[in-house]
A = this chain, B = another copy of it.
Amino acid sequence: MSGYTKNIGPQSDIVISSRVRIARNLEGYPFTHNLNGDLAEDIAKKIDESILTANTKLSDDFKLISMKDLDQINRLNYVEKHLISLELANNVEIGNVIINTDETISIMINEEDHIRIQCMLPGLQLDEAWDIADKIDDLIEEKVNYAFDEEIGYITSCPTNLGTGVRASVMLHLPALSMIGYIKDILRAAGQIGLAVRGIYGEGSEFLGNLYQISNQVTLGVTEEEIIENLNSVTMQIIDKERMTRQNLLSIKKDELEDKVFRSYGILKNARIISANEAMKLISDVKLGVNLDLIKGLPIEKLNCMMEMIQPGFLQKYYDYALDTRNRDIKRAELIRKSLE
């Protein structure tokens, strides 16, 4: 399990994780989609050296992994853990990633941009994640020249990342707001103030498990600090609303809530075949039950881990062989039962 999954952070009743990623490109090289193998290798080597030879605690436990050295199951598992993007996983020939031991930091090389530094921490820790990512950015910049324009800022492959190249996001668990339908208003409001809302696996993915990933859309004409500050403040407002709604539901619909939560718990503990989508929904209910102290003695970290464990890549890695959908559904149910025993 990743460090951001097996531990919990501030506001962990609602915030699963905070993530900051910085997009950078090297001066004098074509963008990744025009890169040939030699140049790509050159870039990977430069960045690897800038991290591994850096004289800092941070660099101690990094390792470089090439996509071509990973089989499909392991690549999928890294995507599920948000350590690499699907795009990098598909860049089998030239894609690389540098990851630290507890998997809170990953540096993708030759993704859409040459460099994508990412730091992911449990709970609401945007400032902390930003500090770490920023430090890595400085480390690398000591050794390489970034593509930079005085007026625009950092040059990126896609215009949506120009300027700061910074995208900050939080993963929120919003079961109560989803239940009463108020979530739609929040999504609309977020869009109006320049935030994007996505599901757990990025654009277009459904809001599986009532998980909502909220991130800044604007990277140009704002400072990094403004991006973090803005997202922090919106997140705190959403947290307040979700908490209030949970308490409201608890006071006016306690029996119904308890029924829903315990039925889901009962199904998770007993099912023999279960899809990832259904499992996400049920785990979401049980998480809410634990948060509201209806279910006792079940650590929330266990449920966060479970959301990661039930994904196809993890399952196949865990059982050490390729599984078709049906067998994944069976093994998923088995793993969930074992974990809840």
A binding-site residues for B, Cβ under 8 Å: 255-256, 258-259, 262-263, 265-274, 330, 333
Contacts and interface: CB of A to CB of B under 8 A. Distances in A.
A333 B259 contact: yes
Contact of A270 (B256, B263, B272, B273): B263
Contacts of A272: 255, 258-259, 262-263
A239 to B, nearest CB: 27
Contact of A265 (B255, B268, B270): B270
A145 B263 CA distance: 59
A316 B256 CA distance: 21
Contacts of A273: 255-256, 259
Contacts of A271: 259, 262-263, 266
A250 B256 CA distance: 35
A327 to B, nearest CB: 10
A258 B330 CA distance: 11
Interface pairs A-B: 7 shortest CB-CB: A266-B270, A266-B266, A259-B272, A262-B270, A259-B273, A258-B272, A266-B267
A262 B272 CA distance: 7
A274 B256 CA distance: 10
Contacts of A256: 273
Contacts of A270: 262-263, 265-266
Nearest to A330: B255
A274 B274 CA distance: 23
Contacts of A259: 271-274, 333
A263 B267 contact: yes
A284 to B, nearest CB: 16
A258 B263 CA distance: 18
A48 to B, nearest CB: 47
Nearest to A270: B266
A333 B263 CA distance: 11
Contacts of A274: 259
A255 B313 CA distance: 22
A256 B274 CA distance: 10
A145 B267 CA distance: 61
A255 to B, nearest CB: 6
Given A259-B271, A262-B270, A266-B267, 4 more contacts: A259-B333, A262-B272, A263-B266, A263-B270
A269 B269 CA distance: 11
Nearest to A260: B272
A274 B266 CA distance: 14
Contacts of A265: 270
